[in-house]
Each structure stands twice: as C-alpha cells, then as structure tokens.
Amino acid sequence: GENVEQHPSTLSVQEGDSAVIKCTYSDSASNYFPWYKQELGKGPQLIIDIRSNVGEKKDQRIAVTLNKTAKHFSLHITETQPEDSAVYFCAERDSGYALNFGKGTSLLVTP
C-alpha cells in the first residue's frame, strides 16, 4: 500500500468550527489507519487510529471514519481551537511493516 492521497493540502477554519481531512488509499489489504499531528519543529504524534474492522472511532473532539468499500478514511475535529493548528498526516499499513503516509494537511485555526 504505497498510494495514499490526502486532501486538502491546506485548511483554514475559524475557532469553534469543524475541520475535516480526507484520505484515500489503493491497497485492499490495508488494515490499519492512524492519524498523526506534527507541530513545527517536532516529530509526528499519534492522535487517533482505527483498524479495518471498525467503521468509526471517537476520542473527545477527534473522530475518524473508515469506508473500506470506497477505500477512504477521514479525520474530523470538532470545536476547533488555535492549538489544533498543525500539520496532520494520515497513514495506512497493510501486512508489511511500513506506514505509508499522505503528504499532509496544514490546518490553521484562527481566533
């Protein structure tokens, strides 16, 4: 699974609004889908992940949905705050060892 498309590349929202980032993948064998948040000058930090046997997972203001048939998964952030501003990466893994990352979405939350 090497092809992960991520959209949009940049996203600007007002504080309190929701943000949605979408990713598509091509490998039917993909079974693990994490989302990482990367702040400037830091390494990526895992914020939520989902496995292929689950359609949705939620953790406070963050949720991820997975549509295996359509091969796409999405990150939803509700009630956005300025500290949510960062670059977000989706990734997928099939039966191998590598995580294949999207190119990232730069999220800006304006007060």
Partner 1 sequence: NAGVMQNPRHLVRRRGQEARLRCSPMKGHSHVYWYRQLPEEGLKFMVYLQKENIIDESGMPKERFSAEFPKEGPSILRIQQVVRGDSAAYFCASSPPGTKPEKLFFGSGTQLSVL
* Chain residues in the site for partner 1 (CB under 8 A): 4, 6, 32, 34, 36, 41-46, 49, 89, 91, 93, 96-104
CB closer to partner 1, 12 vs 45: 45
DSSP designation for 22 = E
- State the nearest-atom distance from the C-beta of 10 to partner 1, in Å: 11
Both tokens of residue 37?
Answer: 């948040």
Spatial distance between the Cα atoms of 68 and 7, rounded to a whole number of angstroms: 18
- State the nearest-atom distance from the C-beta of 49 to partner 1, in Å: 7
Instruction: Specify the 3-state DSSP secondary structure of 83.
Output: helix
- State the nearest-atom distance from the C-beta of 103 to partner 1, in Å: 5
Bridge-based pairing state of the strands 62-67 and 72-77: antiparallel
CB closer to partner 1, 18 vs 45: 45
CB closer to partner 1, 78 vs 106: 106
DSSP designation for 93 = B
